[in-house]
Amino acid sequence: MSVRYLLRGAAPLGDEPTDVLLADGVVSALGADAAQAADDEDVVVLDATGLVLLPGLVDLHTHLREPGREDAETVRSGTRAAALGGYTAVHAMANTSPVADTAGVVEQVWRLGRDAGWVDVHPVGAVTVGLAGERLAELAAMADSAARVRVFSDDGKCVDDPVVMRRALEYVKAFDGVVAQHAQEPRLTENAQMHEGVVSAELGLAGWPAVAEEAIIARDCLLAEHVGSRLHVLHVSTAGSVEIVRWAKSRGIDVTAEATPHHLGLTDDEARGYDPLFKVNPPLRTAADVEALRAGLADGTIDTVGTDHAPHSREDKDCEWAAAAFGMTGLETALSVVQATMVDTGRMTWADVARVMSVTPARIGRVADQGRPIAVGEPANLVLVDPRARRVVEPRRASQSENNPFRGRELPGRVVATFLRGRATVLDGRSVDATTEEV
């Protein structure tokens, strides 16, 4: 018989504290019914006074790098980082080597995730063969595979051909899939290094203009409307993009949108030190863009926070700006950044955090057993957070890469425990596994 956990005095969604009993993979009792189990031999009692209980976080945007770049991250290391960050499910992007554009590759990633056991891994399928943007990949075969793919993306690259994008949007309707677009008009961003604006002009770095993102988002919203399909816009980074998504929603278009922690927390001013830690795609934008993203997330225009966790090896990051890879890690710090930018500023409640980091991502990805209410009989995919804690961010904990842009900064919040179907993957802030060491 497996261990049962009694969380004493936890505050579900930041509401009134109560006792919560986890048994047999589900929330088995709440309140006085749960407290009765306190003296049972097989019950581990955790003092959760002052802690917030949320549904386990669900990331729609994780790069796990396996297969192909295991020097930067593996499914095992990346999912352990996810558990430490409070996640119980991640969607693994398709830009691996080989590309996840067949049933064989997505099943391989899915199995690696299952065997690692830290979080549920839902592979994202490539939209086009080899991410080349020309021919549609085997979307139906990936949907029918053991990995049951529902999210399709060429992320890292934009599906820029409007005919290919239209076909993809039409095709995924057959299995209730969604196309997740990396919106970047390629001709407008050739050789681009950072946001096109005052800072890029001062630094003499080639600019990535806001219009290159906004033009693709506007086009794709109209395509989604035209064919009656679902569109998810990855890493929205500009104020104009927020306006376009707001307009599309007001028109009834079935579009959802994501913001990343780094776009909520950082601006292009970071580039002034020429530290490639702050080189990312789409780039960090202006303070006005950051404000528009925060307002959009608070009012529901932006639906989700996705990490775009993009680990890179030292040789790909410790070099001059122009030669460095785009990307930042995020799984271990996303919740803290959202707390700092949205909760501690009074713009969102913990229930809102649960919505944008768990409930809505699970719905978009069609993941039935995640992002659920904290109620008797529901799967015990949960995270306990200490919102009063503060910590200086380490370059990495479980991730194999150190390119976290918040490293060395103090952030609020600490993940105390994470539960995957009632089993603790994190306890007292440390990852728990029978086969690997603690971190």
We find the least distance from the C-beta atom of residue 192 to Zn ion, in angstroms, to be: 13
Nearest-CB residue for Zn ion: 182
Q: Which is nearer to Zn ion, 27 or 280 (CB)?
A: 280
Q: Which is nearer to Zn ion, 189 or 431 (CB)?
A: 189
Binding residues for Zn ion, rule: CB under 5 A, are 155, 182
Please indicate whether residue 308 is annotated as part of the active site: yes
Q: Give the count of beta carbons closer than 10 Å to the beta carbon of residue 261.
A: 26
Q: What is the Cα–Cα distance from 10 to 418, expressed in whole angstroms?
A: 13
Q: Which is nearer to Zn ion, 35 or 234 (CB)?
A: 234
Going by their DSSP bridges, the two strands 304-305 and 255-259 should be labelled as parallel
Residue (of 396, 216, 215) closest to 317 by Cα position = 396
Catalytic option among 308, 316, 428, 433: 308
We find the least distance from the C-beta atom of residue 174 to Zn ion, in angstroms, to be: 25
CB 249 within 8 A of CB 233: no
We find the least distance from the C-beta atom of residue 125 to Zn ion, in angstroms, to be: 15
Total count of residues recorded for the chain: 439
Q: Give the count of beta carbons closer than 10 Å to the beta carbon of residue 373.
A: 13
Q: What is the Cα–Cα distance from 87 to 80, expressed in whole angstroms?
A: 9
Q: What is the Cα–Cα distance from 143 to 122, expressed in whole angstroms?
A: 11
Question: What is the DSSP secondary-structure string of 221-274?
Answer: HHHHHHHT--EEE-S--SHHHHHHHHHHHHTT--EEEEE-HHHHH--GGGGGG-
| Triad 122, 276, 401: Cα angle to 5° | 40
Counting Cα atoms < 13 Å in the Cβ hemisphere of 146 gives 12
Structure tokens at 366: 């069609």
Q: Which is nearer to Zn ion, 182 or 397 (CB)?
A: 182
Residue 284 amino acid letter: L
We find the least distance from the C-beta atom of residue 178 to Zn ion, in angstroms, to be: 15
Counting Cα atoms < 13 Å in the Cβ hemisphere of 364 gives 35
We find the least distance from the C-beta atom of residue 260 to Zn ion, in angstroms, to be: 9
Q: Which is nearer to Zn ion, 258 or 352 (CB)?
A: 258
Q: What is the DSSP letter of 62?
A: E
We find the least distance from the C-beta atom of residue 243 to Zn ion, in angstroms, to be: 21
Q: Which is nearer to Zn ion, 156 or 412 (CB)?
A: 156
We find the least distance from the C-beta atom of residue 62 to Zn ion, in angstroms, to be: 11
Q: Which is nearer to Zn ion, 76 or 309 (CB)?
A: 309
Q: Give the count of beta carbons closer than 10 Å to the beta carbon of residue 176.
A: 10
Strands (E), 260-364: 304-305
Could you list the active site residues?
308
